[in-house]
Amino acid sequence: MATTANSPADRISAALRIRFGTDFPIKPDQPGLEELARMADHRSVRRYRPDPVDPALFRLLCACALSAPTKSDLQQADIIHVADPARRQRIIAHLPDMAWIADAPLFLVFCGNNRRIRHIGEWRGKPFANEHLDHFMNAAVDAGIAMMNFISAAEAAGLGTCPISAIRNAVDTVSSELGLPEGVFPVAGLCVGYPASAGHVSPRLPLEVTVHTDRYDEARLRENVDAYDRRRHANHPYGKQRRTGRFGTAQFYGWSEDKARQYAEPERADFGDYIRRQGFSLK
């Protein structure tokens, strides 16, 4: 069975060649090719058409998102739709350089929720005996998985999305604006809308760096990261360098230089204090 121009198998091959810099043999009769093609070709979308998202479609996408796996069936993820333009603007005011949040037809915040299970314990007369770091992680992971399910469902419906972790830069403002009670915390925002431009496939580290067999292996980590820097630069170079006032202008500016500069300064250092104020000891 031969592939045809722009077949799912061809789209997967083209996207993964950009993503990982190598060829992936794709069987044309592989089940699930349409879904695999969507996943391989995933792009963050930051420019949207003004078309609204139908409320019935939004409700369907939420249902698909919350059909995701959840730790021990605890169901510790919530979705908040920031529908009030004034409320959205007050949040955006704390997130510079992210104009696409204002332009997106939908702006959502995915939250971890440990509050419900605590209420349920009280209602059923049972103690909550899991006051430690893992129960925070469970809620955060539930919210992250639900958001990825939403992204997959939205892309299947022809929408584009862009996750916004930067809401945690203004976590007190976001928490106040959304009325988050103790036990509930924001994990990430998500812009949703019909794409006004295609965006681009972001190159990723090679699988030799991120996929391991039996035991963690970083024997060739630096070599692989250096090669990735060069491949990414050739495919999609950075438009500007980060924090040149402190670090100067690099002759070659790759992914690793950008990330080293990003994490050379504190970011969200107050988030742990916020989470503790929300009732998580993180012991």
The 10 Å Cβ neighbour count of residue 224 is 17
Question: What is the percent of the chain with per-residue pLDDT over 90, rounded to a whole number?
Answer: 94
Rounded to 5°, angle at Cα 94 from 89 and 97: 90
- Whole-number pLDDT of residue 270: 94
Amino acid in position 68: A
pLDDT band at 97 (very low <50, low <70, confident <90, very high): confident
Reported pTM: 0.94
pLDDT band at 5 (very low <50, low <70, confident <90, very high): low
The residue extents of the domains of the chain are: 55-199, 207-262
Among residues 174, 142, 179, the alpha carbon closest in space to that of 68 is found at 142
DSSP letter, residue 43: -
The 10 Å Cβ neighbour count of residue 200 is 11
Q: How does pLDDT run across 214-241, given as a tens digit for each residue?
A: 999 999 999 999 999 999 999 899 999 9
- 4 pLDDT above the threshold of 90: no
- Whole-number pLDDT of residue 1: 33
CATH of segment(s) 55-199: 3.40.109.10
Task: Look over the chain and give the mean of its residue pLDDT values, rounded to a whole number.
Answer: 95
Q: How does pLDDT run across 111-165, given as a tens digit for each residue?
A: 999 999 999 999 999 999 999 999 999 999 999 999 999 999 999 999 999 999 9
Spell 61-96 as b/e; 16+ CB within 10 A means b. Answer: bbebbbebebbeebbbbbbbebeeeeebebbbebbe
- 2 pLDDT above the threshold of 60: no
